[in-house]
Structure 1
Amino acid sequence: MKKQDNTILPNSPYIFKVNNNYEGMRLDKFLKLKITGIQQSHLERLIGSGSIRVNQKKSKPSNRLNFGEQVSVPPKLKDQKFDQKVKTQFIPLKNDIKLLKSSLIKEENDFIALNKPSGIAVQGGSKLKRHIDGLIEYAFSNIEKHYLVHRLDRDTTGVFLIAKNKNFAKEISEYFKHNTIRKVYIAIVCGIFQNHEGTIDIPIIKERSDKSEKVVVDEINGLKSITNYKVLGSSENYSLVLLFPKTGRTHQIRVHLSHLGNPILGDGKYGGNFKIEKNINKISSLKLHCLQMSFPYKKIKNNIINARLNSDFSDCLKLLKLDKFLHVVNRYIENGF
């Protein structure tokens, strides 16, 4: 009997095997992870011509991959060096994909709600390599197209909405524009408040310099900005505060609290401490969390979405002995703010 020859010929295609991490991912997205720098147009030509195949059959860029499938590419393509002038493709970290998947609070036909993690920006930029906008298609393979409809600062956590279709994106954007959406934030702030509750009605405006952008109080040219607040309790020269923004200006809550002389813990941009006085080795991130968001949806007048505090925020509350006031927060969530 003739012996089978298993030798791989020089011109044989290179095979990528689909494991659990890539199951359900689009073929073009999968290949962008495997072949650094390749352009979408180049991929589409190769897939369309049959030079790239799935299980030896022609496929489409939008084809969803199954576990165990084999993606074959021309032998030289895997190690080909593409022109460095080509815009670098977004390459997600596996841990970020996993983190975003675990942050899902709720999914409807028209939107998903996430409990946004700290440290991940909403949208990418020249210096931002981690952002939700780029991660969505990898973390939620069932979403064909997504639309960003609002923003949270990179280090702010909590409820974050993403539209799944253009019609709802337009509808929810109008809600944000006209302040129809009710938002409740919770923050750990530096110092003790003079009043246990009140309204901050201070106009603010963006101020640009050559190197940075900052929002400042400006009584003459500033935009009307209103934030209601309620102090839940104080300890260790820090306070736990609920905040109800009535307008949605950039950095509004952060600037308003700083103006009162009570900046948010971890907010170095607006005067907040990074180090906790009780534990100087503890470096704090921004302690601002969107606790609840409510808005009209279909036949529900107030569709309420809550986001639990992350472990870092909770640990900080315990360290500062502010966790004893959390029962008040839970009571508000149960009975309404």
Structure 2
Amino acid sequence: MIRPITGSIIYLDNHLIAVVKPPGLLTQPDRNTDESLLDQTRQWIKEEYNKPNNIFLGLIHRLDRNVSGVVLFARTSKAASRLSKQFREGTIKKFYRVIALGKLEERHTTLVHYLRKEKSLKATVFPRATPAAKRSELSYEIIYSLEKNSLLEVSLRTGRFHQIRAQMAFIGHPIMGDIKYGAPERLPNQEIALYACKLVF
């Protein structure tokens, strides 16, 4: 039994649906559970439009389980193909709000590193090109800064595994609650202070 949709629908038309994923919920099902935002959203569409048969809903991108924010689904195969192409080509801009530990000095900067996904499901960061590591680029701007924490808006230029989490930790400012990358304490529900706030295309 699929539970009612736990995210908020913020945009809907004949081609797309954008849903805010809460922390703790998978974007798509894995081997251990079939409870996911994809299934909840598909079930909501079936009930809302009284569609008894299975319907198409294309997954365009993903958020980590402990990350919240906007997830975009395609309602047609044509929309899925076009959006997937845009994501691959980097023409869809992704923005995140992040609470990083510590006080960052530069108001606006770009980080370029090389990330390698490990079998431990963690990313290793290298300052220079390294075999099997992929070039990873992001920019951030400080919105508000205190002595112990900084609120940032992050723009991804590439979309690597755990990219924001790993790069921020590498420069000494892990994301609040992200104990996997060096934060000292968890947040409730294993959430981390990383929110996918905007997609521009």
Q: TM-score, normalised by structure 2?
A: 0.89
1:158, CA displacement in angstroms? Answer: 1.4
1:124, CA displacement in angstroms? Answer: 1.1
**Counterpart for residue 32 of structure 2:** 127
1:283, CA displacement in angstroms? Answer: 7.3
Amino acid at match of 1:104: I
Question: Segments of 4+ in structure 1 off by > 4 A?
Answer: none
Query: 2:12 aligned with 1:107, yes or no?
Result: yes
Evaluate the alpha carbon distance shift between residue 171 and residue 155 of structure 1 in structure 2; reply closer, same or farther with a 3 A threshold. same
Amino acid at match of 1:199: T
- Could you tell me the percent identity over the aligned residues? 30
1:236, CA displacement in angstroms? Answer: 5.1
Q: Answer whether contact 2:5 2:40 (CA < 8 A) is retained.
A: no
Amino acid at match of 1:140: I
1:235, CA displacement in angstroms? Answer: 2.2
SS of residue paired to 1:173: helix
CA distance in 1, matches of 2:74, 2:5: 20
1:198, CA displacement in angstroms? Answer: 0.6
Query: 2:165 aligned with 1:258, yes or no?
Result: no
CA distance in 2, matches of 1:292, 1:117: 15
1:131, CA displacement in angstroms? Answer: 0.9
2:140 to 192, 205, 229: 229
SS of residue paired to 2:118: strand
1:129, CA displacement in angstroms? Answer: 4.4
- Structure 2 gaps of 5+ residues are none
Map of 1:233-252 to 2, 5 A cutoff? Answer: 233-235=144-146, 237-252=148-163
1:273, CA displacement in angstroms? Answer: 3.2
Amino acid at match of 1:291: C
- Deviation by residue 1:194-253 (Cα, 9 ceiling, x = unmatched): 312111100101111xxx321111331211110001111222501101101111111111
The one of the two structures with greater contact order (alpha-carbon pairs below 8 A, sep at least 6) is 2
Structure with greater proportional helix content: 1
- Deviation by residue 1:278-298 (Cα, 9 ceiling, x = unmatched): xxxx77621101111111xxx
2:192 to 280, 286, 299: 286
Query: 2:118 aligned with 1:213, yes or no?
Result: no
Amino acid at match of 1:172: L
SS of residue paired to 1:145: coil
Query: 2:55 aligned with 1:148, yes or no?
Result: no
Amino acid at match of 2:93: R
Structure with greater proportional strand content: 2
CA distance in 1, matches of 2:149, 2:111: 19
1:118 to 23, 31, 38: 23
Amino acid at match of 1:157: S
Q: Answer whether contact 1:274 1:283 (CA < 8 A) is retained.
A: no
CA distance in 1, matches of 2:117, 2:60: 21
1:127, CA displacement in angstroms? Answer: 2.4
CA distance in 1, matches of 2:79, 2:45: 18
Query: 2:53 aligned with 1:137, yes or no?
Result: no
SS of residue paired to 2:196: strand
- Structure 1 gaps of 5+ residues are 1-90, 277-281, 296-337
Evaluate the alpha carbon distance shift between residue 174 and residue 187 of structure 1 in structure 2; reply closer, same or farther with a 3 A threshold. same
Q: Answer whether contact 2:56 2:77 (CA < 8 A) is retained.
A: no
CA distance in 2, matches of 1:275, 1:152: 19
SS of residue paired to 1:255: helix
| RMSD (Å) for aligned C-alpha atoms | 1.8
**Counterpart for residue 159 of structure 1:** 70
- Deviation by residue 1:121-146 (Cα, 9 ceiling, x = unmatched): 11111223421122222222137210
